[in-house]
Amino acid sequence: MSRKSPVIVDLKFDPAVVAKALSTAFADREVINVADPATAGRDLAGIDYAIVWNPDPDLFSRARDLKVIFSGGAGVDKILSMAALPEVPVVRFVDPSLTTRMSEWIVLQCLTHLRQVSAYARQQRDRLWHELSQPAAEDITVGVMGLGILGRDAVEKLRVMGFNVIGWSRTKKIIDGVETYDTAGLETFLGRTDFLVGLLPLTPDTTGIFNARLFAGLRQGGALGKPVFINAGRGRSQVETDLIAALNAGVLGAASLDVFEQEPLSPESPIWAMDNVVLTPHAAAASDERALFRYVESQIRQFEQDGSLGNLVDRTVGY
């Protein structure tokens, strides 16, 4: 029986959580956890697999014989930007736990803005008893930009809550019961949108796409007066100076942000102090390490049986 290749793990998650999840994973092969000081300086040649999230800059030069790279999350832009990235398959993490968590966050933010939770919180702080106008979900059109696995699930969950939902992607996607637009229809899509949800991958085309010009194209005068921007995709898809200016000028009424151009967000950023912004620390859909390792185990098992892999990244489009 041939020797099974070890698996390299280089995940910049909570080290204790990773170590605990690894204690019950990959029972049939060795695991080399880069976070373990005992692995420092270890020769990584001849190893087939690596699971990575924000890996060490020299990882790929040390592990020069990799056959497959598994991303520890849904995003792969940081992996693809690494200079020493080998020409081997890169696999995205796709799991119901990740998808469900993202949809929970998106629905939560849409309901937060619909039901004006931040305004009521300010009234509570000021001990003010005053009922605000409450539009129904069906009065709000949510435009979702990015119709991959995460986007499609968010569309479905938002429709269950009664929102009117439309979608946009670079190329035309067909979703039953949902109007969708492609690049040529962006202006029309924006003009119909009250709540804009960003779930785009980061590519050269999407870097900085959420800018002043785009915000200015959103519908004004809807059920809540001003449009809302909700981003849980990639931080560098938004131009934060434009976003802050739009919020201050009333082009946007509010925002919910889970991702930022630079992370962690600088303590000096004015976004922290904006009372019309809901801010979370890239926590909308944190990877479940146990689910991640089960996913990679199943992918490796299939790969070693017949050479096939699922959820492969297309490097030509960046996701």
Rounded distance between C-alpha atoms, residue 1 and residue 59, angstroms: 29
Active site residues: 234, 282
Residues of the chain with CATH 3.40.50.720: 7-93+287-306, 96-279
Using one digit for the tens of pLDDT, what is the confidence trace for 81-94? Answer: 998 899 999 999 99
Rounded distance between C-alpha atoms, residue 105 and residue 286, angstroms: 11
pLDDT of 1 reads 44
In DSSP notation, 181-213 reads E-GGGHHHHHHT-SEEEE-PPP-TTTTT-BSHH
* The Cα angle at residue 105 between residues 101 and 109, in degrees rounded to 5: 170
* Residue segments in the chain with a per-residue pLDDT below the cut of 70: 1-2
Query: 18: part of which helix (H) or strand (E)?
Result: helix 15-22
- Beta-strand runs (E) in 12-158: 31-33, 49-53, 68-71, 90-91, 141-145
To the nearest 10 degrees (0 to 180), the angle between helices 96-114 and 149-160 is: 50
Q: What is the pTM of this model?
A: 0.92
pLDDT of 83 reads 84
Q: For residue 87, with 0-12 CB atoms within 10 Å meaning exposed, 13-18 middle and 19 or more buried, which class applies?
A: exposed
Name the CA dihedral angle for 119, 124, 129, 133, rounded to a multiple of 10 degrees. Answer: 20
Query: 166: part of which helix (H) or strand (E)?
Result: strand 164-168
Using one digit for the tens of pLDDT, what is the confidence trace for 252-298? Answer: 999 999 999 999 999 999 999 999 999 999 999 989 999 999 999 99
State the fold for domain 96-279.
Rossmann fold (3.40.50)
Q: Does residue 45 contact residue 63 with C-beta atoms inside 8 Å?
A: yes
Rounded distance between C-alpha atoms, residue 184 and residue 182, angstroms: 6
Tokens of 38: 């005992």
Class of the domain covering 7-93+287-306: alpha beta
Rounded distance between C-alpha atoms, residue 232 and residue 148, angstroms: 13
Rounded distance between C-alpha atoms, residue 201 and residue 318, angstroms: 8
